[in-house]
Amino acid sequence: METTLRGVGVSHGVAIGEVRHMGTAVLEPPAKQIPAEEAEREQGRARQAVEAVAADLIARGNLAGGEAQAVLEAQAMMAQDPELMADVERRIAVGSTAERGVYDAFAAYRALLAGAGEYLAGRVADLDDVRNRIVARLLGVPMPGVPDSDEPYVLIARDLAPADTALLDPALVLGFVTEEGGPTSHSAILARALGVPAVVALPGAGELVEGTVIAVDGSTGEIFVEPGADKRASLEQAAAARKAALAASSGPGATSDGHKVPLLANIGGPADVPAAVDAGAEGVGLFRTEFLFLDDSEKAPSEDKQVDAYRKVLEAFPEGRVVVRVLDAGADKPLDFLTPGDEPNPALGVRGLRTLLDHPDVLRTQLTALSKAAEGLPVYLEVMAPMVADRIDAKAFADACRDAGLEAKFGAMVEIPSAALRARSILQEVEFLSLGTNDLAQYTFAADRQVGAVSRLQDPWQPALLDLVAASAEAAKAEGKSCGVCGEAASDPLLACVLTGLGVTSLSMGAASIPYVRSTLSKHTLAQCERAASAARAADTAEDARAAAQAVLSGE
């Protein structure tokens, strides 16, 4: 009998196939004491397993490239954490086996993360995956990972670790569904990059029986269990119509009456450039530069290394716009040489621009490298600071850009509600705004973007979030400056129309979403987008906001 479940759709498309569940490693090794003379050998086994797992994660990252590479390298750093390793060795010295020492040390660290505020609690899934991989290697059991199958399937998991998501084969994994996660979790972002339909935060997903046929709608978040022939036909027809519309859509982003809305790509490094170019991106709206700094948590990359990486991206968009975000370190992206390790709540501490202003040499080197990378190129370089709170922050960043001799526009990211509320003040110091809707939602609703239990508050359709977007866009218009969106909200085609109606001047997203947004925008006039935006803001809930906008744009 056909039933319908609803989670959070995070990656467009429809997948119909049989359920297969993610395999897991043995989670808890047996507790037994070892003789003192075996401690040194066990410590060596533990170190060997840790290094092997870290090397495997880095290798997976190199294969995946782009954003996935940065995420997996961060996991490798987690595996090699010296304090964790010291704790493992202490436990082995008093009688634990290597696998039990690893398990208990990670459990203690896990408890610290879980109690350190919701932002760090979101890293627990990544930590569990690293632990499971190390313990599995020590026990000689299969690694956690996707199931072996010769036939395509829909993958079900409690949560998907980045190491698994990054290397999914779209030819076999038709889509995936998870119980945990949210619209801006690592797995969701990587799913969009892969173009795999995905639904997260679905309660009871693990109870779906192996082999059951389900249909996954990654746009609406609906899961149809044992769909009937009519439902399958309607879903397949809708998917085919969408595919045809995408194929027919090309060129710059614009509404049906010619209002231009440049469609840009979010990238994590040079490896993401080919997909952006293939998707017809008109430039880069968010170049995350963290990937360079995650290579070595002990020191910043050299100026020459930075110049080389930045130039590869800039060269790919001649005459195009490339917006670079300077290093956003702190919170879930700690760097040993920059970020304090003892903050009670790093998400509300020294992160983003605050970190860079505390380390002006790192900021100056990056700005100088960007300036040199752009020399002689016709590209329109723009550089922006993350986590700008007020005009004082904006002025400090603008002054640093000028001091470094940077010949580029410099701007501020709006990720903190204070920046949206005082956008006109900030625009006295910088030349553009860019809305990071993921963090803006997190700070507006006090809802960690990695925690599935509060995912409804991360929904970019929340009217309060739309109000802040509107305030920022109105301020930019009043100052004659631009205001783009580079958060994941821009990847929702319907919401892209609403953002356009709110006055946003450009949209930046994962490359796989660009054709969907281009096609949908081209079907509606600016006036329709403005009416849809007004209807969405008049609603009281995210669900009602989406429904109101949909009604306007569909002519109901």
Positions annotated as catalytic residues are 186, 486
User: Which residues does 405 contact at the CB level (< 8 Å), separation at least 6?
Assistant: 368, 371
| 75 Cβ neighbours under 8 A, 6+ residues apart | 57, 126, 129, 130, 161, 162, 163
What one-character DSSP code corresponds to residue 322?
Answer: E
- Burial of 417: CB neighbours in 10 Å, binned 0-12, 13-18, 19+: middle
Write out the two tokens for 394. 């904006």
In the block, which residue shows the tokens 């509404």? 255
CB 453 within 8 A of CB 124: no
Query: 376 is written with which tokens?
Result: 């002689």
Long-range CB contact pairs, 149-153, < 8 A, 24+:
149/20, 151/18, 152/17, 153/17, 153/18, 153/19, 153/20
Where residue 20 falls (left for φ over 0; alpha for ψ -120 to 50; beta otherwise) is: beta
* Residue 25 to residue 45: CA distance in whole angstroms: 18
Backbone angles phi, psi at 197, to 5 degrees: -55, 135
Nearest Cα to 362, choosing from 287, 306, 308, 291?
306
CA distance 549 to 537: 9
What tokens does 393 get? 């922050």
Across 449-467, b (16+ Cβ under 10 Å) vs e yields bbbbebbbbbbbbbbebbe
What contacts 362, CB < 8 A, 6 or more positions away? 300, 327, 338, 356
